[in-house]
Amino acid sequence: MTHVTNEELKITPIAQSYALASDEDRCAVRHKVAVPAKLRFSGCSNFAVTVTDLSLAGFACDAMVQAHPGTRCWLALPGLTPLEAEVVHRNNLGLGCAFHNLLNAAVLDRFVAGYPAS
């Protein structure tokens, strides 16, 4: 049996942000929804959006704003306190954001059932 010490192992930890993982790995099942909500960026007033895609890890909304990846925001879904998130991408359809903390599964189920996409 060969003994290997920690110094002999060349293991490099891969550190990826949660936002990147949620966008690239699609780590949670996405649900098409139509949830009226409010979005707010740091130091700005909130504005109305429609959340069109929701998962445990994040959301997509119809916000047509110039927000760069990494921008912190807060999403206020009906009946909930604002949820912290980070912009992951933007395109002609709006923003894709990753939640700072995963959404509770029961909360996700409530919004999927109560706000189906038409």
- CATH fold label, 18-114: Thrombin, subunit H (2.40.10)
pLDDT digits (tens, 9 = 90+) for 82-109: 999 999 999 988 999 999 999 999 999 9
Task: In whole angstroms, give the CA distance from residue 55 to residue 46.
Answer: 22
pLDDT digits (tens, 9 = 90+) for 48-89: 999 999 999 999 999 888 899 999 999 999 999 999 999 999
Q: Write out the two tokens for 31.
A: 């649900």
Predicted confidence at residue 52, as pLDDT, reads: 97
Predicted confidence at residue 12, as pLDDT, reads: 41
Task: In whole angstroms, give the CA distance from residue 89 to residue 92.
Answer: 11
